[in-house]
Amino acid sequence: MSRVYRSMLLMSLASVGLGCSPTEDPMIAQHRQKIILASEPDQAVSLSQAKSMLTEESDIVLLGRVGSGQLDPFEKGSASFVLSEALADDHGEDDGHDASDCPFCKRRAAEAPIATVELHDGNGKPIAVSADKLLGLTKGQTVVVQGRGIYLADVDTLQIKAGKLFIRLPKQ
């Protein structure tokens, strides 16, 4: 094996071994920077409250939990996801609380609407990257979204076009 070939092979192996990976798409980073809020907005309402407030399309600040049931909450190729009702801060804090076994949680989830959230860029266009990839969201996270929304009674769903989002950190 020639020295040049051996040197090239060693350099290639070293770069793989050192964890060189492709850099993030700058467009994703730009969208993320414009969407994610550094502090939680005031006056966030639950999905149940929004249901009665949004009789016509209007501005809304909505508190919810990413996901609903066993289905994947994220739409591939679109920064859209499903929100379900978030529990009150004082409920379920005990270790061992399981929302799937809690009668209060089950009843509240069954009665609450869901929300579909579609994230838009600064020009009002939907973003064509899945929300989990774009923002690092995972099922079960609590978020606050800012945008325009309407309640669609025929499908018991809130439809939100959002431009800003705050991700709550889990309690320690």
Q: For residue 45, what are the contacts with CB-CB under 8 A and spacing of at least 6? A: 53, 60, 61, 62, 63
pLDDT higher than threshold 50 for residue 168? yes
Max CA separation in the chain (angstroms): 76
Q: Is 97 helix (H, G, I), strand (E, B) or coil?
A: coil
Q: Does a structural domain hold residue 4?
A: no
Domain holding 71, by residue range, is: 25-88+99-167
| Per-residue pLDDT reduced to its tens digit, 60-117 | 999 999 997 788 999 999 999 999 988 654 555 556 666 667 787 777 777 778 999 9
Q: Does a structural domain hold residue 152?
A: yes
Q: Does a structural domain hold residue 172?
A: no
Q: Is 89 helix (H, G, I), strand (E, B) or coil?
A: coil
Least confident window among 3-7, 110-114, 117-121: 3-7
